[in-house]
Amino acid sequence: MTRCVWSVMDPPEYDVTSTSWLLAVTDNATGWNATAPGGGGGGGGARWPRRSFPDDGYTRVGLYAVIFVLAVAGNSLVIATLAHDRRMRTVTNLFLLNLAVSDLLLAVLCMPFTLIPTLLQNFIFGKAMCILIRYMQGATDHTRTALVN
């Protein structure tokens, strides 16, 4: 399995398709596997049934496709509207234009490269794309956050 290193300065490699770390966090945060009421608190009580999202791959692809299409269409319309009409070129609309460009870049450059390795359980795009995708995700997130503040 190809691994994608999350930081150039960090020598350990992390599996970008693994979500095992998330299960431990959500179990502790939400108590999904907490002892049932009246169970005695000593760990011997009945366990709540684990709730899981039924993911056969088709659900994830469908949701990603809907979000992708809406993001591309909506942000493209905002960009086209603001670029076409000269009266719409105000400071506030320039702010919205920058957000639309950032969201469009996120949808086009990051969403496919997040979905495909998750489905294939393998990062197939190579080391250069691994670094570029991480950079683009960070840059688009930073742009949106900096603009909102």
User: What pLDDT, on the 0 to 100 scale, is given for residue 24?
Assistant: 44
User: What pLDDT, on the 0 to 100 scale, is given for residue 146?
Assistant: 84
Q: Give the closest residue to 5 by CA, choosing from 98, 140, 130.
A: 130
Q: Report in angstroms the alpha-carbon separations of 17 from 3, 9, 50, 62, 134.
A: 9, 21, 22, 19, 14
Q: Tell me the HSE value of 64 on the side-chain side, using a 13 A CA sphere.
A: 18
User: What pLDDT, on the 0 to 100 scale, is given for residue 47?
Assistant: 58
The answer to the question of residue 65 being in a domain is yes
The answer to the question of residue 140 being in a domain is yes
Q: What angle do CA 122, 127, 132 make, to 5 degrees?
A: 105
How many domains in the chain?
1
User: What pLDDT, on the 0 to 100 scale, is given for residue 66?
Assistant: 96
User: What pLDDT, on the 0 to 100 scale, is given for residue 70?
Assistant: 97
The answer to the question of residue 121 being in a domain is yes
Give me the residues of the chain with pLDDT under 70, please. 1-54
The answer to the question of residue 32 being in a domain is no
Q: Which domain holds residue 64?
A: 56-148
